[in-house]
Structure 1
Amino acid sequence: MNASATWTVPEHVPSDRIVDFDFMNPPNVTADVHLAWKALHNGPDIVWSPYNGGHWIATRADDIEVIQKDHQRFSHARVNIPPGQDPALVPLELDPPEHSAYRALITPAFLPQAIAAMEGDIRLLTVELIEGFAGKGECEFIVEFAKMLPIVIFLRLVDLPQEDRLQLLEMTELAVRGTVEERHRSQQMLAGYIGKWIENRRHNPGTDLISLIVNAKVDGEPIAPQRMFGLLVVVIFGGLDTVAAMMGFVCRYLAEHSAERRRLVEQPELILTAVDELIRRHGVTNTARVVVEDMHLNGVYLKRGDSIQVPNALFGLDERRFSDPMAIDFERKPVLHGAFGNGPHRCPGSFLARMEIKVFLQEWLKRIPDFELVAEDPPRCASGMVNGLLHLPLRWKIA
C-alpha cells in the first residue's frame, strides 16, 4: 500500500478491513472499471480505503440498499469523496424534510408523461446523430454519440445555446472525475457561466427548467443564492455524464457479445425489458453518505462523521442478489437494481435516462446491427464519482 495513504486510518478501523483501493484509480481500471470495482467482492463486505481522506466502502447490495434508504442514520450532507467546500448540491445533499421542497421543484419536468412528450424529439436527434457517421463505417462512440445525445436534449430542456455544449462537457468531466481542486474549478466555471442566465431568466422567464428554478419560492420565500446555485449544478451535471457513460458501457457490451446483440436485432421487442438489465450490469455512480451516529453495521463499528461510499456498480454485480451477475440475461425478472438509488433520493431523471437508452438501442440496431471494437485502439475506462468510458472506437462494414 502507498505509505502516504496510511495516515488517514483512524483508530476504530480494524486492520483487516483496510484495502489498498483508491476509487479514483483502482487497479486495472483502464481496461474495465466494473471488474476493477468487482475485485472488492473478494474481501469483507464493508472495507476501509485510506485514500482520498479515508472512507468506508459498502460492497454488497444488502448494505448499500440499507444505506440508500436510511437517511436518518446515513446523511446525504456530503456525497463527494473527499468532500469539498463548495455550496451544497441541492437537493442531493439535503435530507428530508428539507430535501422534499427542492426536489418537488424539478420533479415535474422528469415525470413519465413529461418524458413521453419528449420521445419524438429524442428519436429524431438520435437518428440524425447515427446517420451522420453510419456511412463512414466507423466512429468514436463517446465523442460522436454518447456525449452528444444527452447534452443536446438537456440544452433544449433548459433552453440554453447548443454552441455551449463543449464548454459544459468540460465542466462536467472535471466535476465527476476530478480532484477536489478540479471540482472546485468546475463549480467556479459554472458560476461564471450560469450567473448571466439567472439574470436573464429573472427578467425574461420562459417555460424551461432554469426559469422555473430561478423564479421559484420555497416556503414562500425566493430561493437563497447558494441553494439556487447548488440546484442548478445538480440539474446541469446530473444527467450528462451518467447517461453518456451508461450508453458507452452498453454499446461496448453489445460490441463484445454478438449473440446478445443479434437477439435484440432480431427481437427488438426485447429492448423494452433489456434496458434495466443493461443498466443493472453497468452501474456508474459512486456517491457517499455521512454516518450520523456511532453504530454497528454488518459487524463493523462506524463512528459519527465517517464517510461511507455506496457504489451502484457493486449493487448490480453482487452474486448474493443476482444470479451470475456479470452476465446479461434479457429474461431476468425482476431487475430491481440500485443504479438510480433507493428511497427519497432516488434519481428523478431515471425515466429520461431509460428513454434515451431505449431509443438509442432501437435506432442504432436498425442502422448498424453488426459492429465491433477496434483491436488496435481498445476502449479506455476511468473511475471517480462517476464511472466512465472515455474512449470507444467502433467499426462496421458498409453495405
Structure 2
Amino acid sequence: MQTDQQETLSRPDHIPAELVHDFNLYDIPGAAEDVQAAYAAIQQAAPDIFWTPHNGGHWVATRGEDIIAMQRDYHHFSHKHIVLPPMPEGTPRQIPLEMDPPEHARYRRPLMQALMPSIVAELESTVAAVAIEAIEKVLPRGECEFIEDFAKVLPIHVFLELVNLPIEDKHVLLPLAEDSVRGRDAETRLRAHRAMGGYLLDHVRARRDNPGEDLLSKLVNVDLGGQRISEEEAVAYATLVLFGGLDTVAGMIGFIARFLALNPDHRRQLVERIDDDAFLKQAIEELVRRHGLANTARVVAEDFDYKGISFRAGDRILPANLFVGMDDRLNDNPLVVDFNREKPVHAAFGNGPHACPGAVLARREIRIFLQEWLRRIPDFRIRPGTTPLLATGMVNGVLRLELVWP
C-alpha cells in the first residue's frame, strides 16, 4: 500500500485554500457503520465542490445537480482516466469506459444490444433458478454468510453464463475483481487487470477464431466500420466487462440485504407486497437510491470556469454517484428509506453516454433476489456478536454479512 506521502499532493496554485478538504475515498470516517451515511456527512460538512490532496490530488463534486451535469458533459469532463489514484502512464485504457463519444459509442453498442430489456427478460428463468438453488441450499441451516453464499452466487453465475465461461473459474476471478474495484493503490489494480487479461487471452483468441452467440464473442469481435478491434483492445474490453459483471450487482444486493436485516418494518412491507409489481419496482428504486455503489473519476479536458471555480486541463474530479441519492436538495430526508417516496432521485447507474448498460439486468436480479429470498426467508437478522464488513473505494461494497433466521 502507498504511504501517505505518496498518496497526497501539495495544493496547486489555482486551487483556493478554502476549497481544500480532507477526503480519502478509501478511508471515510463512519464508513464501517454505514458507507452512504458517511458520504452524506461529508456532503453536509464540505463545500459543494472541493479539492482533496489524497490519492494524487483531485476535486470532489458532492451535489446532485453538479454531478449529473458532469456525467453528461463529456466535452469538459472526460472519461480518459476513471480511477483514483491514477493508473501508471502507459496502462492500457479500460474499453469502452475510458473513451468519450463518438469513439465510445462504436465500442459500447454490442454491449447495449446484448443487455436490451427483451434479452434480459429471456434470462429471467435462469436468474430465478440460480437464486432458488442458492437459497434452498442455506435455508435448512438457519444461517449463512450472505456475501459468499448468495450475493456472489446469483449475479456471478448469471454473468458467467452470459459470457460462456466456466463457473468453476469464479474462484480465480472473484479475488481479481475485488482487487480491481477496491484496490487502494494503482499497483494492486494494475496487477489485477494484467492477471485478468492473462486469464482471458486464450478465451478471447478462441472466440475471435470461432465466434459464438455469447456476450464475450460479441465484445471481442466489435466491428469498427469494416475493421475488427485489435486483440489487445478485445482483451481490455472483456476485462472491464468481467470486472463489472462480477462485482457491482453483488455489492448492491449485499447492501440491500444488510438494510433489510437491520430494518424489520421495511422487510415486512416488502413481504406483504412482494407480488405487487408496481410497489416492488418503486421499492427497488428507493433501495438503489439509498445504497449508491460505483464511482468513476473524470479528467478536466480544458481550462474553464464552473460556478466560480477555475478548473485546469488535467485536473481530476470525482463526481461520486452515491452523493446524488444522498442529496437533501433532491431527496427529502435522504438517509430514510421510504418505499412511498414519489420520485427517488439517484445516479446509481450514471447518466449520459456512459450510463450503465447493465442497469436493466441489475434491477431484474435485485427483484428476483427479493422475491425468492423473502418468500422463503421472510424473517432474518444479522448474527448477534458479528458486524458486517463494509468497504469503500471506486466501488463500495459489503465484504461480509452473517445472517440468521428462525
TM-score under structure 2 normalisation? 0.95
Note the C-alpha offset of 1:35: 2.0
- Residue 28 (str. 1) matches residue 34 (str. 2): no
SS at match of 1:390: strand
Q: Describe the superposition over 1:32-55 as per-residue Cα deviations: whole angstroms up to 9, x where unpaired.
A: 211221221122101111111000
Note the C-alpha offset of 1:204: 2.9
User: What pairs with 1:1-399 in structure 2 (closer than 5 Å)?
Assistant: 7-41=9-43, 42-85=45-88, 86-178=91-183, 179-268=185-274, 269=276, 270-397=279-406
Q: Equivalents in 2 of 1:5, 1:390: separation in Å?
A: 24
Identical columns (%): 45
Q: Point out the more displaced range, 83-92 or 66-75.
A: 83-92
Note the C-alpha offset of 1:227: 2.1
SS at match of 2:350: coil
Residue pair 1:340, 1:350 contacting (<8 A) in 2 also: yes
SS at match of 1:8: coil
Q: Describe the superposition over 1:300-328 as per-residue Cα deviations: whole angstroms up to 9, x where unpaired.
A: 22111101101111110000010111111
Q: Equivalents in 2 of 1:22, 1:7: separation in Å?
A: 12
Q: Equivalents in 1 of 2:76, 2:158: separation in Å?
A: 37
Q: Which runs of 5+ in 2 are unaligned?
A: none
RMSD: 1.3
Residue pair 1:286, 1:312 contacting (<8 A) in 2 also: yes
Residue pair 1:49, 1:55 contacting (<8 A) in 2 also: yes
SS at match of 1:245: helix
Q: Describe the superposition over 1:344-388 as per-residue Cα deviations: whole angstroms up to 9, x where unpaired.
A: 111000000000000000010000001111231111111111001
Q: Equivalents in 2 of 1:3, 1:367: separation in Å?
A: 51
Could you say if the C-alpha distance between residues 339 and 300 of structure 1 is closer, same or farther in structure 2, counting changes exceeding 3 Å? same
Residue pair 1:137, 1:395 contacting (<8 A) in 2 also: yes
Note the C-alpha offset of 1:5: 5.7
Q: Describe the superposition over 1:235-288 as per-residue Cα deviations: whole angstroms up to 9, x where unpaired.
A: 111122111110011111111111111011011112222111110110001111
Q: Equivalents in 2 of 1:302, 1:124: separation in Å?
A: 50
The one-letter code sitting in structure 2 at the alignment partner of 1:258 is P
Could you say if the C-alpha distance between residues 358 and 10 of structure 1 is closer, same or farther in structure 2, counting changes exceeding 3 Å? same
Residue pair 2:51, 2:60 contacting (<8 A) in 1 also: yes
Q: Which runs of 5+ in 1 are unaligned?
A: none
Q: Equivalents in 1 of 2:178, 2:229: separation in Å?
A: 27
Could you say if the C-alpha distance between residues 92 and 6 of structure 1 is closer, same or farther in structure 2, counting changes exceeding 3 Å? closer
The one-letter code sitting in structure 1 at the alignment partner of 2:32 is T
SS at match of 1:394: strand
Q: Equivalents in 2 of 1:3, 1:190: separation in Å?
A: 30
Q: Point out the more displaced range, 20-29 or 360-369.
A: 20-29
Note the C-alpha offset of 1:296: 2.0
Q: Equivalents in 2 of 1:14, 1:162: separation in Å?
A: 52
Residue pair 2:204, 2:234 contacting (<8 A) in 1 also: no
SS at match of 1:308: strand
Runs of 4+ in 1 over 4 A off after TM superposition: 2-6
Q: Describe the superposition over 1:90-149 as per-residue Cα deviations: whole angstroms up to 9, x where unpaired.
A: 111110000011011211111000000000110011010011001111111111111111
Residue pair 1:21, 1:51 contacting (<8 A) in 2 also: yes
Q: Equivalents in 1 of 2:214, 2:332: separation in Å?
A: 43
Residue pair 2:331, 2:345 contacting (<8 A) in 1 also: no
Residue pair 2:207, 2:217 contacting (<8 A) in 1 also: yes
Q: Equivalents in 1 of 2:68, 2:382: separation in Å?
A: 35
Q: Equivalents in 2 of 1:137, 1:248: separation in Å?
A: 18
Note the C-alpha offset of 1:3: 7.0
